[in-house]
A and B are shown apart, each in its own frame.
Chain A
Amino acid sequence: METKKSLLSRLPVISQLKKSVGLQRGMLVAGIVLTLMFLLTAALAPLIAPYGATQRFDETQAAPSSVHLWGTTAGGYDVFSRTIGGAQTAFMVIVVAVALSIFLGVILGLLSGYLGGWLDRILVVVADAIYAFPTLLLAMVMSIALSQGRSDVWSGIFSAAISITVVFIPQYFRVIRAETIRLKAEPFVESAIVVGASSVRIMARHIYKNATRTLPLIFTLNASEAILTLAGLGFLGFGIEPSTAAEWGYDLNHAQSDATAGIWWTGVFPGVAIVLTVLGLTLLGESMNDLNDPRLRGRKRAAKKARKNAKELVDA
């Protein structure tokens, strides 16, 4: 069929980029650039960073210089290397946390929404109870329960990720459950019931794909929240030990006392890294959300004005 678009142009982010115009496109592009920067840094961290993230130097609190690009901390870590390494840690935590919470959240949401009854009621109450907890407190409790203070890289990452997972499962659960309940009343699900399809078949074949369309959007929004939670945990001292991996929240915590002494470089760089990463992911998620909704999506004016718009973009 000639109307069928190429696979590339139907991929999530790319298809939205094609649809966007004006300010929305600007936001999306900024989000994509920042997120790509984050991903590249995470992937190439060992190549970019001049030293290891856990390597200590004798010069403590040294100002930025050619040896230590962004200076060193009170503990003798190289700030540049730790900020770069922090991206890698953050990325792994996001992937593990979001993967776990999507997996559990989607399954529970489908079962709860489609089967209903007592299972639904119990799961909703549990999800609401988790919601009612302050997320950071919950994450702290989970982190203490899981890691009991000691840590190497992977157990640190996993305990941080699982603490975040617990907080996020209810979000995915709710979204999928609400979608499932809506879809349950759709004629195509009823027509599957009338045909005699089993509940498992209906959930797997008819509801699952339709209910998970919004997940990429929640994913990007949650990823930024996961970074904040991870940084929060690290800042409060429940995160990953500095001797095992670089982590922005921990560095930020230890930069507190430096700031009053005029040592700005230990706090600014990890702080800016958190801000840019969260901003990038939020911009990406929000603008994809807007572009996916035809009512929120801006469109070109027909005919002449479209050309003017395009020109403005080129000029910008």
Chain B
Amino acid sequence: MQKLIRTLTCGLLVATLVTPGFASAAGGFMPYGDISKHHARDSIIRSVQAGLFAAGPGVPLFYPKRDMTRAEFLALIDRLYYGGQYQLYPLTFLSEHAEWTSGEGFDKPYLPYKDVDRLTWMYNPTLRISYVLDRLYGPNAIQQVFPGEQMHPNQPITQEEAAKILQMFVMSSDGKHAWEDIREWGWLEGEKTDRLKRGEAAVAADRLMTYLVQDTIMPLLDYDGQKFPMVPEILDVFPLFSTYTNPKSVDEEKYVNAVEAIRNHEDTDATFEDLRKLASNSFGNKIGTHFYLSWDPSTTLDLNLEEAYKAIDAYFENKIILPDTLQLLSANVYDIALQLGGKDQRQYQKVLEHLRGYEKKVKQDSKEWEALGIYIAALEVKAGQIDAALDQYRLFNSSHAEALINTTYYLIQQGRLQEAEQLVANQKPKASDSRMTQLTRLLKQDIASLKQQSEIATDLAFTLRRLDNSDSYQVKGEAVLSGFTFKYTQDIDQRNNTSRVSGFYQSPQKLVSDKLETYTDGKEQIQYSYDSDRDKWDKYKTNSLDFLHEWIAKQSAKDRLNNLQARYYKQTFGNYDIITEWIPGPVLEEKAKQVSTGRGKIKSVPLYMNKYYIDRDTDQLLQHVWRYEEIYDSDEYVAYSGTDKFDYQHAGKVSIPEEVRKGVTP
């Protein structure tokens, strides 16, 4: 049930943002004494329930008509970001556990202002947002919102300034369009120069929350190669499929206890023994007993699949139309198929044929039909029948979000971008259907960016070529490789084909850092490294690859686009162009079959993504951020991430001292 559990954890993430408070909002929960007649009341209540505003005995009033200050708004956005950060992950590369610094001596972010002090309540939220903005848009990005040495944190924030910050949550290709973008999303309703009221901020936060729990910002982006075919998110993975009231019969008690055990991961052989007895006697809930028997870890997947089928059979025998139930039962079959099938298309074909057998039992165009159809199409994809899947998805893609995303995605996969664009353009979702409305907009934006792929690759290639052609440059960087942290300055002399690295590194198993000193002779393909323990220079050949990412780095941007299915996204913000690049793992795994590296054969590539920050005036690369994960056949897991900053002024000749070449003790 890996997939289901994954969807479940997704659901949990969503839940932390939305909070279960939605239901109780109607129950008359009133966190402040001054909002009952305010038009933003419901938004304020929902925001409080989501933990966006402080409430409680010490905070009796909300002051919805007061101006919101810049610092207050940043603190609000900080909390929203915390809930929605997984949405921005493909653009920030910042995981939930990301730390600001790798430790003593490593860079710590700070604010480019003189009037927001460390030891104040506003400091950490402001710094976090500034850090995220830096990652998204380049150094000192927050200066684009609040320019100058002073941030004036206690000054009221204007609608336009708020929009510039809210822009981080939307797919916005140009920082200049912040106001228009946010207005179009409908989060703010005033005029540019209006001061944002606290009530209005709550409304914006409320709408943003809804937005964040629906579809991903770039719905067609599959940065880790795991997203497609997309299936619906299932909120309740452990239903009882019936309601039981006290007093319960012995069988009912047994059943409810079994479900409880499975839900809490406390199931034992006895749990499934009980279920088996129930399934064979006259106990009425056949859907439930078979569904949960399909979870029995001690029987084979084939038997699990049999039980999953029986649950669907029982569903149809009941003759009660419950599309959500059918969806869960189909999801269950699909999930077992994924575990059974792996990469074997025939396995999927078998399951597919079985599921198709149920099609005649549901009414065409009904919700039930869609619930089943989305998994049939997913199995078709897995069985290699993309055309058939597309036909299936198309049947209901104007009413079904996943069907629409999948149709669009697979059309584009087949090179039918125009068709995809047409399809999305033709969507006319009802205004009341907020998910489809949002999705259609997001898809349009995503397609617009997909149409520029080759252009972006050309831009990136140009910039990288400029780097390769410059006589010399200096890189200051920090990186983490398999738990080892590095901080270094690298001088690259391309005329002499030499380079020098100096800095230090910290082993995760050690308490003190060690020196990092190397010279590289590109002509002779030799690297000289200083070993501080032995106080000696060592020699290494550099003519072979150690890691797969080294091989990818040698591929041109064009080759990455054409051969490795790289996806590009370009944004413009202030003085920078920011290009983000993702290469899906499955493609790399396929291509890597011909590549041999020092680490051995590659097994899988969970992550490969880069961000390039380019100076718009000079087209020079200013900063490169990366995050790679590779798993080798030896089961060695390599995670490599870091930031390089490029400097073209402070660079010069690098000559390798004779004593280094001779390996003499310095």
A and B form one complex: no
A-side interface residues toward B, CB under 8 Å? none
B-side interface residues toward A, CB under 8 Å? none
